[in-house]
Amino acid sequence: MEAIATNFGIKEALNQLGIKAVNEGTSTGSNNFSNGDIIDSFSPVDGELIASVKSTTREDYEMAMKTATQAFKTWRLMPAPQRGEIVRQFGEKLRENKEALGKLVSYEMGKSYQEGLGEVQEMIDICDFAVGLSRQLHGLTMHSERPGHRMYEQYHPLGVVGIISAFNFPVAVWSWNTALAWICGDVCIWKPSEKTPICGVACQNIIAEVLRENNLPEGISCLINGDYKVGEFMTKDTRVPLISATGSTRMGKIVAKEVAGRLGKSLLELGGNNAIIVTPDADIKMTVIGAVFGAVGTAGQRCTSTRRLIIHESIYDKVKNAVADAYKQLRIGNPLDETNHVGPLIDKDAVKMYENALERVVEEGGKIVVDGGVLSGDGYESGCYVKPAIAEAENHFEIVQHETFAPVLYLIKYSGDVENAIEFQNGVAQGLSSAIMTNNLREAERFLSHAGSDCGIANVNIGTSGAEIGGAFGGEKETGGGRESGSDAWKIYMRRQTNTINYTTELPLAQGIKFDL
């Protein structure tokens, strides 16, 4: 850690964020009252221990919930525009700490520094979005069938919102939820991934400073740490009306069942098996850029990563060769070095999954186009660096039907018209992101039609990876159906109430029912 910390300013970033590195002799607790086991956070960049947190015990959780529910009583009474002002201040703190937090994201998770900065920018953007939204939490008015009556709808905060986030976006997804939940009047309790707990501590330190400066209860934002057992504290807790969970489809099904069993609400952002359709009318240069970034960005560990490239047979070889040539230019190494394109996978379990996928695609009849493999030697000591690989495959292969959270891209050939490609695109269990590369207006509109892509995100002439804050983010089928971030995603964090006011001296009933006394 010493060389990387010195050369890339990791120590300074940790200090700025209020984190004490372990080589300074101090571990960082997840909160002031944790009593659980130690969770060590190792960087996939160099395998070094960054810092440690304490896992949350049942007693710790109860204390956090008590703090949160008490804070809700104060927070919900603050006018929404005033809550928006607190979120605005949080956004300003993020601007001040953007470089430091971006470095921590890069070092703890393994994504490139530019992507780390981009993730913090997402946090800033959602704060800006939420500030404006704090003056637009609108309901509807409607005409009553009864004379002298007025009807309208209004929205009220839910209470305590539970957030379970994944390692691949260790800070942004939390902010998508909290920024909106906060302006809606909710308080939040967050369990970050046990693979990236230090990012969670850093975020908590930033918002805690804002709350202290405004004399607001610390329970507006609570942090708990641990594995799935800690997550179960929230999913089983009737005091938490909404659980927002990001992760694998397997995890999401467990959460959904548990929360539904107590008639709670769940917001699920689960797996993706995303494809780009490349038609004969595609711009090849644009296609290569979109496909390569989509497949290797964050080392293939985005839920929106491009897994499948569905190419028309008439241009198949041309596209295959162009993408393979682009892969030769990729530089793999320390993600804090901005000359590198691809950093490490999160851990050695992810490496095993990557190796298994390459073995399986060959066993099922596929062919490796660009060789993969685990890198070793100087700079690769963590054992988490792999070479992005490309394989020719069929859409029905079992390994293709599943999401592999690693830089493995499958090339799939289609013939005939675009309907056949769309059938391949939709022919998986997941439904998050999709894209088509074409300059043919009819093909583009067909892709976006009711009979087109069945995903929550459908793009034309851009890749599958990356999304703007303004639009709702989420997918269908085994992706879970949740929506976060922009548009009207705020409504999931509130309960809707219909109100009828009678301002007459009579009491007429609806539907003309007579009930005279």
**498 backbone dihedrals φ, ψ, rounded to 5°:** -95, 130
**129 backbone dihedrals φ, ψ, rounded to 5°:** -60, -45
Output the 3-class SS for 290-323.
Answer: HHHHHHHHHHHCCCCCEEEEEEECCCHHHHHHHH
Output the 3-class SS for 170-196.
Answer: CCHHHHHHHHHHHHCCCEEEEECCCCC
Amino acid at 112: S
Burial of 139 (0-12, 13-18, 19+ CB in 10 A): middle
**293 backbone dihedrals φ, ψ, rounded to 5°:** -65, -40
Q: What are 357's two structure tokens?
A: 């996928």
Amino acid at 177: N
**How large is the angle between the packed helices 113-133 and 172-183, nearest 10 degrees?**
10
Gap between the Cα atoms of 191 and 182, Å rounded: 17
Q: What's the angle, vertex CA 247, arms to CA 472 and CA 277, rounded to 5?
A: 60
The active-site residue out of 48, 269, 403, 484 is 269
Nearest to 291 by CA among 272, 314, 271, 308: 308
258 is catalytic: no
Gap between the Cα atoms of 144 and 148, Å rounded: 8
Q: Could you tell me whether strands 408-414 and 389-392 are parallel, antiparallel, or unpaired per DSSP bridges?
A: parallel
Q: Say which residues have a Cβ less than 8 Å from residue 313's Cβ, sequence separation at least 6.
A: 413, 414, 415
Output the 3-class SS for 148-175.
Answer: CEEEEEEEEECCEEEEECCCCCCCHHHH
DSSP per-residue letters across 392-434: E--TT-HHHHS--SSSEEEEEEE-SSHHHHHHHHH-SSEESEE
Gap between the Cα atoms of 305 and 388, Å rounded: 13
Q: What are 115's two structure tokens?
A: 């992507």
Indicate the DSSP class of residue 128: H
**143 backbone dihedrals φ, ψ, rounded to 5°:** -80, 135
Catalytic residue numbers? 269
